[in-house]
C-alpha cells in the first residue's frame, strides 16, 4: 500500500529518494516524507500531507541533504492522513519508515508510555521507532536493536531504520510486506518495489520473510529469522527503465490501455509453438502435475478475481471442475478442497495480503497438490512462495485501475486452461490449434478496438452527470460486466453495479429510469437472444442502453439504445476484447468528471494490508 525508499551513498541521496517516491506514489498518496542524515550526523526530516510534489516543493524551499536517508509515501491505515501521521516517525535519534500493520500496537504503545515515551502520532508505526530506541540502549548495534524489536511485533512490516549517531548505515526488516535491496557501485538502496530504484540500479536482492539486513555503502549483510547470515540470489531486473514514465499520454491508465496489444504479444511470446501452448512454460514439471489435476481453485481479489470468474467458465466448459473465490473470504472459512486440486492465485502485484495469506493457508494446511501463481511481478512474494509461477508480462502497471494486467491475466489463464485441457485429454489437438491461432490474432484485434476511442468518448458524455449505472452480461461476459462496473466506480466515483442479465427481473429492474444508464456487453453468442430480451425489459421501462456488440448481433441504435459495434471475435476471445471499450469508457467518464484518474481517492495500487 505505502511505498518505501532508502539509500546509503557517498553523495546526497535526497534526489534518489524523491525520484523513488514519485515512482512509488501509485501505491499510496495521502502524505509523504523523508529523513536524511549528513556526515556530521545532522538529521533533516520533512513531511507533507498530499502528494510527493508537495514534499518536493517543500524540499525546494528547505533543502535537506545527506548520504543516508529513508523516505515514504503513505496510504493511511492507522491515523488520518496528516503531517503528524506521515512517515518517517522519529524517536530522538532514530527515524523509521514502515509498510504494513502492527496489530499489537496498542499494547506496545501502553508499555512504551509506561517507560516514558511520548507519542507524537496516531500511527502504529511510531511504536517501532520508540521500541528500536528503547532496545538500542541495551544493544551493541542498531541491527541488534531492530532484531530485538521485530520479535515483539505482531502483524506485517517492511521497515527501514536509521540512527543519527551512526550515519553510515541503515537497517531493514521484512515480514509480510516486501522489501528489495538494490545494488549500486559504492552505494546501496532499499525499496518496497524495484520500480523505485530503476533509475539507479538494475541489480536486486529480495528479502525473505523474517529477514533483517544491514546496509552500508560498501556491503549488504542479510540475516534470516534465526540470525544466520544468508545470501539470496541477486537478480538483474528486466523491467524497462522507462516503465515508470507516462510518455506522451495524459495518464498512466490511458498509456496502459493502449499498451495492451504489445503486452498481450509479450505474454504469448515464446509460449506458443506452431499449434500448441508450451505446457513447460508453466514449469519444467507442469505436464506431470497438470495430468494429475482433477479440479482447480482460483483465488484473487478485485480485478484479478474477475479474471478468475472468466476462467471458471473456460475450465468448466472443458469439463474441469473449477471454483473461484475472493481471497478475503476464502482465508476465513473452511473451504472444501476437492481431491487433486491445483491452487491458483491470480494477482497483478503478487503482494495482495489476502491472496498471499490464502496461498500460505493452501500450502500449510490444505491438501492441494500444487500451487501456481499467475502474476505480473517477478520476485514478488506469491511468485517466490508458489510451486509454479506464470508471469503475465504486462510490464509495470502504474495506474491504480488495473487494465493491461487484467487482459494479460485472461490470456495467461486461457493458456493455462488449454495446457491443462491438453494434458488431461479434454481438448482435441485441432481445437488447441484453433485457439492458438486465435491467440496470435489477439493483439491485432485489440488494436482495432482501440480505434473506437472517439466513438466511446462521445458515449461517455451521457454518463458524466449520472450517479448510478448498471452493467449487464451473461456467461463469460458477466465477469466482464463486473470488471466494467469496477473500473467505472473506481475512477469516476459513479456507483456502478454489475448483474448477470437474467437476474435483472429479480430486483434491480426496479431501479431502471432515464437516470440509470445500462451498459450491456453483447457479442453475438448463444446467449444473445436471452440478453436481447433483458435489454427489452430495460427499454420498456424507459432505461437508456449502451450496448457493446458486433455486426452479427444486428443490434441497431435507436430510441433508448446506443450501440458501439466491435470487430467480430470468437466466443473464447470475446471477454478479453470486450474489456477494452469498457476501460476506455471509464477513462473518458473520469476525464469529464475531473477525478484523479491514476490515483483515485482512498485507493492504492498494491493492497498489502488486510
Q: Which residues are catalytic?
A: 2, 605
Q: How far is the CB of 259 from ligand AGP (least distance, A)?
A: 16
Residue 576 neighbours by CB under 8 Å, 6+ apart: 264, 407, 410, 411, 414, 442, 446
Q: Please, what sign has the CA dihedral across residues 188, 33, 99, 242?
A: negative
Q: 333 by DSSP, 3-state: which?
A: coil
CA dist 407 to 5, 164, 365, 394, 413, Å?
Answer: 30, 47, 32, 9, 10
- Residues that bind ligand AGP in the complex, under the rule CB under 6 A: 301-304, 347-349, 352, 355, 400-402, 490, 606-607
Taking the least distance from each CB to ligand AGP, the nearer of 117 and 206 is: 206
Q: How far is the CB of 608 from ligand AGP (least distance, A)?
A: 9
Taking the least distance from each CB to ligand AGP, the nearer of 64 and 607 is: 607
Taking the least distance from each CB to ligand AGP, the nearer of 297 and 347 is: 347
- Comparing CA positions, the residue from 329, 325, 328 lying closest to residue 343 is 325
Cα–Cα distance measured from residue 416 to residue 413, given in angstroms and rounded to the nearest whole number: 5
Q: Please, what sign has the CA dihedral across residues 84, 353, 324, 426?
A: positive
Q: How far is the CB of 23 from ligand AGP (least distance, A)?
A: 17
Q: How far is the CB of 160 from ligand AGP (least distance, A)?
A: 23
- Furthest CA-CA distance within the chain: 79
Query: For 52-168, where are the E strands, in sequence order?
Result: 68-74, 89-91, 94-99, 157-163
Residue 553 neighbours by CB under 8 Å, 6+ apart: 522, 523, 524, 528
Taking the least distance from each CB to ligand AGP, the nearer of 14 and 585 is: 585
Q: How far is the CB of 111 from ligand AGP (least distance, A)?
A: 34
- Comparing CA positions, the residue from 221, 89, 72 lying closest to residue 144 is 221
Taking the least distance from each CB to ligand AGP, the nearer of 21 and 609 is: 609
Ramachandran angles phi, psi of 547, nearest 5° = -110, 130
Q: How far is the CB of 409 from ligand AGP (least distance, A)?
A: 8
Taking the least distance from each CB to ligand AGP, the nearer of 244 and 302 is: 302
Nine-digit cell string for 151: 520479535
Amino acid at each position: 500500500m505505502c511505498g518505501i525508499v532508502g539509500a546509503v551513498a557517498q553523495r546526497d541521496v535526497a534526489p534518489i529518494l524523491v525520484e523513488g517516491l514519485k515512482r512509488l506514489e501509485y501505491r499510496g498518496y495521502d502524505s509523504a516524507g523523508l529523513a536524511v542524515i549528513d556526515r556530521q550526523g545532522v538529521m533533516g526530516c520533512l513531511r507533507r500531507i498530499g502528494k510527493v510534489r508537495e514534499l518536493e516543493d517543500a524540499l525546494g524551499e528547505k533543502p535537506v541533504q545527506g548520504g543516508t536517508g529513508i523516505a515514504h509515501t503513505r496510504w493511511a491505515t492507522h491515523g488520518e492522513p496528516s503531517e503528524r501521521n506521515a512517515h518517517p516517525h522519529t524517536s530522538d535519534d532514530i527515524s523509521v519508515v514502515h509498510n504494513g500493520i502492527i496489530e499489537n500496537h496498542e499494547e506496545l504503545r501502553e508499555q512504551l508510555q509506561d517507560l516514558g515515551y511520548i507519542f507524537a502520532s496516531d500511527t502504529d508505526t511510531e511504536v517501532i521507532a520508540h521500541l528500536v530506541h528503547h532496545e538500542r540502549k541495551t544493544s551493541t548495534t542498531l541491527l541488534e536493536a531492530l532484531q530485538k524489536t521485530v520479535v515483539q511485533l505482531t502483524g506485517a512490516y517492511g521497515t527501514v531504520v536509521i540512527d543519527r549517531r551512526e550515519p553510515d548505515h541503515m537497517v531493514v526488516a521484512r515480514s509480510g510486506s516486501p522489501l528489495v535491496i538494490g545494488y549500486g557501485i559504492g552505494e546501496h538502496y532499499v525499496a518496497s518495489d524495484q520500480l523505485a530504484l530503476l533509475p539507479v540500479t538494475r541489480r536486486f536482492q529480495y528479502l525473505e520473510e523474517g529477514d533483517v539486513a544491514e546496509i552500508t555503502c560498501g556491503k549488504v549483510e542479510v540475516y534470516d529469522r534465526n540470525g544466520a547470515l544468508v545470501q539470496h540470489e541477486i537478480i538483474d531486473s528486466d523491467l524497462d527503465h522507462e516503465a515508470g514514465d507516462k510518455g506522451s499520454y495524459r495518464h498512466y491508465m490511458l498509456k496502459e490501455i493502449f499498451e495492451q496489444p504489445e503486452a498481450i504479444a509479450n505474454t504469448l511470446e515464446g509460449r506458443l509453438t506452431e499449434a500448441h501452448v508450451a505446457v513447460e512454460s508453466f514449469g519444467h514439471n507442469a505436464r506431470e502435475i497438470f495430468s494429475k489435476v482433477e479440479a482447480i481453485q482460483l483465488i484473487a481479489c478485485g480485478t484479478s478475481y474477475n479474471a478468475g470468474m472468466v476462467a471458471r467458465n473456460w475450465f468448466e466448459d472443458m469439463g474441469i471442475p473449477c471454483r473461484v473465490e475472493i481471497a478475503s473470504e476464502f482465508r476465513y472459512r473452511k473451504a472444501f478442497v476437492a481431491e487433486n486440486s491445483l491452487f491458483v492465485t491470480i494477482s497483478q502485484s503478487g503482494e495482495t495480503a489476502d491472496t498471499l495469506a490464502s496461498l500460505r493457508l493452501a500450502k500449510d494446511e490444505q491438501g492441494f497438490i500444487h500451487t501456481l501463481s499467475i502474476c505480473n511481478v517477478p520476485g514478488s512474494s506469491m511468485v517466490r512462495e508458489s510451486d509454479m509461477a506464470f508471469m503475465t508480462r504486462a510490464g509495470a502497471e502504474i495506474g491504480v485501475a488495473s487494465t493491461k494486467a487484467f487482459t494479460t491475466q485472461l490470456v495467461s489463464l486461457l493458456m493455462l486452461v488449454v495446457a491443462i485441457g491438453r494434458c488431461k485429454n479434454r481438448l482435441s489437438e485441432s481445437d488447441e490449434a484453433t485457439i492458438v491461432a486465435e491467440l496470435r490474432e489477439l493483439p491485432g484485434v485489440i488494436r482495432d478496438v482501440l480505434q473506437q476511442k472517439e466513438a466511446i468518448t462521445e458515449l461517455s458524455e451521457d454518463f458524466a452527470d449520472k450517479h448510478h449505472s448498471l452493467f449487464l452480461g451473461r456467461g463469460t461476459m458477466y465477469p466482464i460486466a463486473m470488471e466494467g462496473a469496477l473500473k467505472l466506480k473506481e475512477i469516476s466515483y459513479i456507483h456502478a453495479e454489475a448483474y448477470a442479465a437474467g437476474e435483472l427481473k429479480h430486483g434491480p429492474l426496479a431501479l431502471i429510469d432515464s437516470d440509470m444508464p445500462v451498459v450491456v456487453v453483447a457479442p453475438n453468442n448463444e446467449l444473445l437472444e436471452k440478453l436481447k430480451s433483458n435489454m427489452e425489459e430495460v427499454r420498456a421501462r424507459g432505461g437508456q442502453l449502451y450496448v457493446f456488440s458486433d455486426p452479427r448481433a444486428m443490434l441497431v441504435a435507436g430510441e433508448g439504445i446506443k450501440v458501439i459495434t466491435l470487430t467480430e471475435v470468437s466466443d473464447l476471445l470475446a471477454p478479453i476484447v470486450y474489456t477494452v471499450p469498457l476501460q476506455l469508457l471509464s477513462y473518458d467518464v473520469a476525464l469529464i468528471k475531473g477525478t484523479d484518474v491514476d490515483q483515485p481517492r482512498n485507493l492504492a495500487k498494491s493492497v498489502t494490508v488486510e
